[in-house]
A and B are shown apart, each in its own frame.
Chain A
Amino acid sequence: MAHPLAPYIFLLRNPARSVPITIVIALAVLLICGIVALVHSIPLSVREIYGYSRNFSAALPRSDPSYLPTLEAQLSESPVPIERVLKIRVAFFNVRSIVGKLPFVLHGLKPEDAAFLRQRMGLSQLTGRLPAVGAPEAVITRPIAVNLGLDIGDELLRPDDPQNYSPQPVRVVGIHESDYWFAYGDYTYVAQNHFPPVDDLVIVAKDQPRFDRWAVERFKGTKARILTHAELLRETDESLAVLLQLLSVVIGMLVVVVTVMIGLFINIYLSQRITEFGLLQAIGFTRGFLARRAGVEASIIVIGAWLLGVLVSVGVLWIVKITLMDPRAYFLDPLDWYGIAYTLPLPLAVLLASFLTIRIRFARFDPVEVIERRIA
């Protein structure tokens, strides 16, 4: 048999008091989790869409073709063993993301280089065929096909599309089943039809992160531009820093508003229970016991509501991911730990406000005043 004064007994038997607080906290958690998860889907999109860059880095001679031999010679100084250096040409098209269109590279590869990269990136499963030499053809991976709604035979680049331009329609001839976002066509076609008329170097190293660190330092201040996965992440984080700061301010304001609201709720509820507290103190319960009991009640409700809010958030975000994001190959992490971490100040602040309210209410509590109905 549960003790009649067990904290959860009050909560279970007074849903009209416990449910509104639970709903307010859970909704606030849902709101915070949702905002943070959506904002974090931006860097998540960048990481996933350009995730192929983990496999290699690129060195660009900044539109000066004469610099290319020097660049190649300097790369050979690398203390990190290099597996292969590929000369490629690039064309561009747009993919769709949650923040709008993002530029994406159609890599113009020589057949032997394409084979090497396919093996390196695990792109083995192919529906369709490989691009023919000199032909306006492209192979893409499944996420790009989903994202742009393309199938084999569809046009990836078109003469009449300024954002996805090529002098001839470039058709999709093959689709790889892979989680990578990657697109490639034939080197000759891209070299003959796309600007700039300069080869870029793709460097595949044995230890890519180590090579990337070396290359970034080595080519600082030179005519070469080094593109690495780490640099991409750093630039993404830098560009989102202000947005994340604004997000923190908004969440901080939300926490303050909800905390004040819950503090008022708890104060009202304590006032409504003054007779109960006065009676219990008169018949032999200490103020400390009653304050602890009220504190445990507040803790159960706040922690329970927070957990409920997290569960509801994960559920709602999961539904959003499945119904809205996945069909467009957009990214959203329903179990975003940053989002959950952002909600932590809410229960902590509400608990602090609750304990302070309870402490103040019980500090000078006189049961005789209640028994004599001077306060009730």
Chain B
Amino acid sequence: MIEARNVSLEYNDHGKIVYACRDVNLRIAKGEFVGVLGPSGSGKSSLLYLLSGLKEPTAGSVLFEGKPYTHLSERERAEIRRKRFGFVFQYPYLVGFLTALENVIAGAEALEPARDRAEALLSEMGLGEKMHRLPSELSGGERQRVCVARALLWDPDVVFADEPTASLDAATGREVVRQLVERRRGALVMVTHDPRILGGADRILRIEGGLVTETSVEVAETADSRVEEG
């Protein structure tokens, strides 16, 4: 469904060319759960932005259903992001003057069905009592759950999650990821530096210095525990 062909993203850091991603080739199939592991600054978030069309590669191309993003207008790319993708970012970004419920349905075109669905979704996620509260009245975990509900509202083809647990404590983070993994119907691309939250992943990609290699959950966890022990 999404394909990266020889994709590179480079930027100029005080006269020095730095690669956020380098010659990346990968495919993400329908319904697949792909984890992207890597330390800070390894380029994993950049990879997510490239795959979701939020950034254009400096070389190569990213295709969605066979069409390169670069062949699409800004409007078409935005429509794909709004209707076919869902996003959960590192920080639980919500529109401050909208309630939790309104934040979930903000991207919807038909409001009434969206409202019914969002109410059900928020209730199932334990936010039934708080769906009419403003983000400032919610905890960090609750806000991130609202973000998950927003991403999952219309069962998007792909959900992109960029370090969704980074700003949460361990227990809340696990709960947010559990809900995200269990409720999704389409593919899930989750970027993290914590292999423990990638337990259900079909594939895990490791990225370092912009280079992507494929690995397994077990290897990733072992490597991670060695890092922690060391």
- The answer to whether B78 touches A285 (Cβ under 8 A) is yes
Alpha-carbon distance A280/B94, docked complex (angstroms): 9
Alpha-carbon distance A4/B153, docked complex (angstroms): 16
- The answer to whether B78 touches A281 (Cβ under 8 A) is yes
Task: Give the 3 A-B CB pairs with smallest separation, nearest first.
Answer: A284-B82, A4-B102, A284-B81
Which residues B37-66 have CB closer than 8 A to chain A? 45, 49, 54-55
Please encode chain A, from 254 to 282, with 1 for each CB lying within 8 Å of some chain B CB and 0 for all others.
00000000000000000000011011111
- The answer to whether B95 touches A286 (Cβ under 8 A) is no
Listed residue (A14, A280, A283) with the most chain B CB atoms within 10 angstroms of its CB: A283
Known contacts A14-B97, A282-B54, A372 near B45 by CB under 8 Å: yes
15 example contacts (A-B, Cβ-Cβ < 8 A) are as follows A1-B115, A4-B102, A5-B95, A9-B98, A275-B96, A276-B95, A282-B87, A285-B78, A285-B107, A287-B74, A368-B54, A371-B54, A371-B89, A371-B90, A371-B162
- The answer to whether A4 touches B82 (Cβ under 8 A) is no
Q: Give the chain A neighbours of B95 by CB distance below 8 A.
A: 4-5, 276, 279-280
Task: Please give the distance in Å from B153's CB to the nearest CB on chain A.
Answer: 11
Contact of B112 among A1, A10, A288 (CB under 8 A): A1
B10 at the A/B interface (Cβ < 8 Å)? no
Alpha-carbon distance A10/B95, docked complex (angstroms): 10
A367 at the A/B interface (Cβ < 8 Å)? yes
Contact of B81 among A1, A283, A288, A372 (CB under 8 A): A283
Known contacts A283-B82, A284-B79, A284-B85, A4 near B74 by CB under 8 Å: no
Alpha-carbon distance A279/B87, docked complex (angstroms): 10
Q: How many residues of B contact A (CB 8 A)?
A: 33
Contact of A276 among B80, B96, B162 (CB under 8 A): B96
A220 at the A/B interface (Cβ < 8 Å)? no
Alpha-carbon distance A287/B95, docked complex (angstroms): 16
Task: Please give the distance in Å from A288's CB to the nearest CB on chain B.
Answer: 7
Alpha-carbon distance A278/B89, docked complex (angstroms): 12
Q: Give the chain A neighbours of B112 by CB distance below 8 A.
A: 1
A364 at the A/B interface (Cβ < 8 Å)? no
Contact of A3 among B78, B82, B103, B111 (CB under 8 A): B111
B19 at the A/B interface (Cβ < 8 Å)? no
Total number of residue pairs linking A and B with CB closer than 8 Å: 68
In the complex, the chain A residue whose C-beta lies closest to that of B91 is A373
Alpha-carbon distance A5/B96, docked complex (angstroms): 12
In the complex, the chain A residue whose C-beta lies closest to that of B76 is A286
Alpha-carbon distance A282/B74, docked complex (angstroms): 12
In the complex, the chain A residue whose C-beta lies closest to that of B109 is A3
Known contacts A282-B87, A284-B81, A286-B74, A4 near B45 by CB under 8 Å: no
B105 at the A/B interface (Cβ < 8 Å)? yes
Task: Please give the distance in Å from A260's CB to the nearest CB on chain B.
Answer: 27
In the complex, the chain B residue whose C-beta lies closest to that of A289 is B78
- The answer to whether A4 touches B98 (Cβ under 8 A) is yes
- The answer to whether B54 touches A280 (Cβ under 8 A) is no
- The answer to whether B45 touches A5 (Cβ under 8 A) is no
B120 at the A/B interface (Cβ < 8 Å)? no
- The answer to whether A279 touches B75 (Cβ under 8 A) is no
Task: Please give the distance in Å from B36's CB to the nearest CB on chain A.
Answer: 16
Q: How many residues of A contact B (CB 8 A)?
A: 27
Q: Give the chain A neighbours of B111 by CB distance below 8 A.
A: 1, 3
Alpha-carbon distance A282/B91, docked complex (angstroms): 13
Alpha-carbon distance A372/B115, docked complex (angstroms): 30
- The answer to whether A283 touches B150 (Cβ under 8 A) is yes
B83 at the A/B interface (Cβ < 8 Å)? yes
Q: Give the chain A neighbours of B83 by CB distance below 8 A.
A: 284
- The answer to whether A5 touches B78 (Cβ under 8 A) is no
Q: Give the chain A neighbours of B91 by CB distance below 8 A.
A: 371, 373
Q: Give the chain A neighbours of B115 by CB distance below 8 A.
A: 1
Listed residue (B54, B83, B111) with the most chain A CB atoms within 10 angstroms of its CB: B54
Contact of B93 among A5, A287, A371 (CB under 8 A): A371
Alpha-carbon distance A10/B96, docked complex (angstroms): 10
B106 at the A/B interface (Cβ < 8 Å)? yes
In the complex, the chain A residue whose C-beta lies closest to that of B84 is A284
Please encode chain A, from 1 to 40, with 1 for each CB lying within 8 Å of some chain B CB and 0 for all others.
1011100011001100000000000000000000000000
- The answer to whether B85 touches A5 (Cβ under 8 A) is no
In the complex, the chain A residue whose C-beta lies closest to that of B98 is A4
- The answer to whether A275 touches B97 (Cβ under 8 A) is no
Which residues A327-376 have CB closer than 8 A to chain B? 367-368, 371-373
Contact of B78 among A10, A13, A286, A368 (CB under 8 A): A286
Task: Please give the distance in Å from A287's CB to the nearest CB on chain B.
Answer: 7
- The answer to whether A283 touches B55 (Cβ under 8 A) is no
- The answer to whether A284 touches B78 (Cβ under 8 A) is yes
Alpha-carbon distance A371/B160, docked complex (angstroms): 13
In the complex, the chain A residue whose C-beta lies closest to that of B75 is A286
Known contacts A3-B111, A276-B95, A285 near B82 by CB under 8 Å: yes
- The answer to whether A275 touches B54 (Cβ under 8 A) is no
Q: Give the chain A neighbours of B102 by CB distance below 8 A.
A: 4
In the complex, the chain A residue whose C-beta lies closest to that of B89 is A371
Alpha-carbon distance A281/B49, docked complex (angstroms): 13
Task: Please give the distance in Å from B74's CB to the nearest CB on chain A.
Answer: 6
Listed residue (A1, A4, A275) with the most chain B CB atoms within 10 angstroms of its CB: A4
